[in-house]
Each structure stands twice: as C-alpha cells, then as structure tokens.
Amino acid sequence: MKKLEEAVRSVEMEGLLWGASKLVAVGYGIKKLQIMLTIVDDLVSVDTLIEERLTVEPINEYVQSCDIVAFNKI
C-alpha cells in the first residue's frame, strides 16, 4: 500500500495539492487507499486527472479504480 500511495502522490499537475491519506477497510481483510486532494477547477480537470494520469503506466500497476467520495466546489 505504501508503493500505491507513492505512485499516486507522484502525479503532479499545476493546481493539484495532495492532502492526508488513510487506509479504509473494505471487507475480508481488503483495504483501499483514500486520499484527500485539492484542485484548482480552472487548472485541473478531474476527468483528465483520473483518465490520463491515474490509469496509465506505471501507476495502473497499483490503481484498479478511482472513486470520488466527496466533491465540494468553491
């Protein structure tokens, strides 16, 4: 899970700031990584972040899927 978090946090974009993280139990001993992040809406597209940065080589070796738990627009 440490390598997963390192891979995700290695993604850098102007207007993207990674925050706190935690492991959340899913069931049967399986855990998922949950990370808070802040984006500047005019600079970062959520779709671009997920489709072009988090689901491509080499990160897709660790990332199976991405879910948005909460979304606040300021």
pLDDT in tens, 14-70: 999 999 999 999 999 999 999 999 999 899 999 999 888 888 888 888 888 888 888
What pLDDT, on the 0 to 100 scale, is given for residue 60?
84
Q: Spell out the domain ranges in the chain.
A: 2-61
Neighbours of 39 (CB within 10 A): 15
Question: What is the radius of gyration, based on Cα positions, of the chain?
Answer: 13
Please state which CATH number belongs to domain 2-61: 3.30.70.60
Q: Which DSSP string corresponds to 13-43?
A: -TTEEEEEEEEEEEETTEEEEEEEEEE-TTT
What's this model's pTM, rounded to 2 decimal places?
Answer: 0.82
What is the DSSP-derived secondary structure letter of residue 10? T
Query: pLDDT band for position 74 (50/70/90)?
Result: low
